[in-house]
Amino acid sequence: MALLVSRLLRVHVGLRLLPRCTDMTRGLRSAASSAGMECRVRFSPAGRSLFDQPVAIAVDGLRPRQAVTLRASLQDESGELFESRARYQADSEGRLDLARSPALEGGSFSGLDPMGLLWSLTPQTPFRRLVKRDVQRPFVLDLEVREGDGDSGRLLATGSHERHFLREGVERVPVREGRTRATLFLPPGDGPFPGIIDISGTGGGLPEHRACLMANYGFAMLALAYYGYEDLPKSMKEFHLEYFEEAVNYMLKHPQVQGPGIGLLGHSKGGDLCVSMASFLKGITAIVTINGGIVNAGAFLHYKDMTIPPLGFDRNRIKMDKNGIADIVDVLDNPLENPGSQSLIPLEKAEGRFLFIVGKDDRNWKSEFFAAEASNRLQAHGKEKPEIICYPGAGHYIEPPYMPMCPASMHLLVGCNVAWGGEPKAHAAAQVDAWPKIQAFFRKHLSGHKAKL
């Protein structure tokens, strides 16, 4: 009997304590909610998106009008960390939608810009440029939400999102045919597709990011290396157009490339190489240069019995700022005066149509001058006036959308860090605007109709 009474007393005590435990649990939940522990980061699309397409970012579960700091970060393949921060205030219901809420002053950017956290990413190590080396792997964007106005605030939520470069079904084909060192990207579907050769600037190697992103929209893209890769020349001393001619012929003969001609897409030094190819080689219908020149720069160019010398320069015209960054925009000689005129490319011989994409704050060289002079020369020889699109505030490295602007980095030919120019927000807007216009130009002049997606 004594044992039974003891058990009943323990049950009775437990029943009396149970409401108190429940109240305590409710209190903990309330405290957690008020501290933001239940807030959640939402991406749309949810888990992954293409690098050149926008992604919507929102945060739920905040307190009404709560001040928060969002920190975005990603690592490149070398381990370099790129970061950005923005200050926000939640709405009256505790929600934060970056498409509706402007970033407050004090972060990497301010104002209403849903993709600001991406284009404003900056490297922890100065003078580093975000480069995608392996397009088969995504960049992973990490996002932190912290309470208050800085990194020291309480961590409220985290989220991750993959930024891919290859659309599902796009085929990546390494090309080692003859002397050609390249990568071919073929869209899904039966084809044939409008074909384009993509040539990058003085960095060497085989950059693939622009070519594969273009392939996502129905173009057969050949990313072409021309030095600093495998058994190609190790440095920029001289180039032979016969090498580039092999690549053109490879594309013209490919069963998945739609004829009768192909397009060329080049940035910086790649731009003047595209102009040279169009001027001397057959089968080129459309040419887009992004801050490219109409002079041969940096190396001798040979084709059969012809040689175009590189445009001269004077290193004494380099201006150094207090941070040791070189401004080289005035270094090159005037190509309209001898002996500089010997380096002019005879683009009036080209049979294709031209589009010049120009950053008006390009500090690498005078891209706007080159585009204007190209227009003068073409029209003086009875050719169609080229399309020229100029972007105020845009610098030299006009990349696909949402690639962070690089204000300064190492120039291999100059041998030091140089200023590339550009104001970040205007530069980002230029990239978003130029990208579909480049695609539309190629669709118009290569196929006459919209490329298959």
Tokens of 198: 């993509």
> Edge to edge, what strands does the sheet with 326-327 contain?
319-320, 326-327, 416-419, 408-411
| CA distance linking residue 183 with residue 173, whole number of Å | 6
Pairing of strands 353-359, 387-391: parallel
Catalytic residue among 209, 396, 411, 427: 396
Strand partners, 177: 180
Give, in degrees to the nearest 5, the angle at Cα 311 between 305 and 314: 145
Tokens of 370: 């080159």
Beta strand ranges found along 178-256 (DSSP E)? 180-186, 193-199, 220-224, 238-240
Please indicate whether residue 134 is annotated as part of the active site.
Answer: no
Residue type, 81: L
Please give the span between the terminal C-alpha atoms of the chain, in angstroms, as a whole number.
84
Catalytic residue among 362, 375, 427, 445: 362
Please indicate whether residue 209 is annotated as part of the active site.
Answer: no
Please indicate whether residue 396 is annotated as part of the active site.
Answer: yes
| CA distance linking residue 205 with residue 90, whole number of Å | 46
Going from the C-alpha of 427 to that of each of 111, 183, 304, 335, the distances in angstroms are: 16, 28, 40, 28
**CB neighbour class for 209 (10 Å; exposed up to 12, middle 13-18, buried from 19):** buried
Beta strand ranges found along 331-384 (DSSP E)? 353-359
**CB neighbour class for 5 (10 Å; exposed up to 12, middle 13-18, buried from 19):** exposed
Are 146 and 156 contacting, i.e. CB atoms less than 8 angstroms apart?
Answer: yes
242: left (phi over 0), alpha (psi -120 to 50) or beta: alpha
**CB neighbour class for 74 (10 Å; exposed up to 12, middle 13-18, buried from 19):** buried
Catalytic residue among 49, 101, 268, 367: 268
Pairing of strands 326-327, 353-359: unpaired
Give the residue numbers marked as catalytic.
268, 362, 396
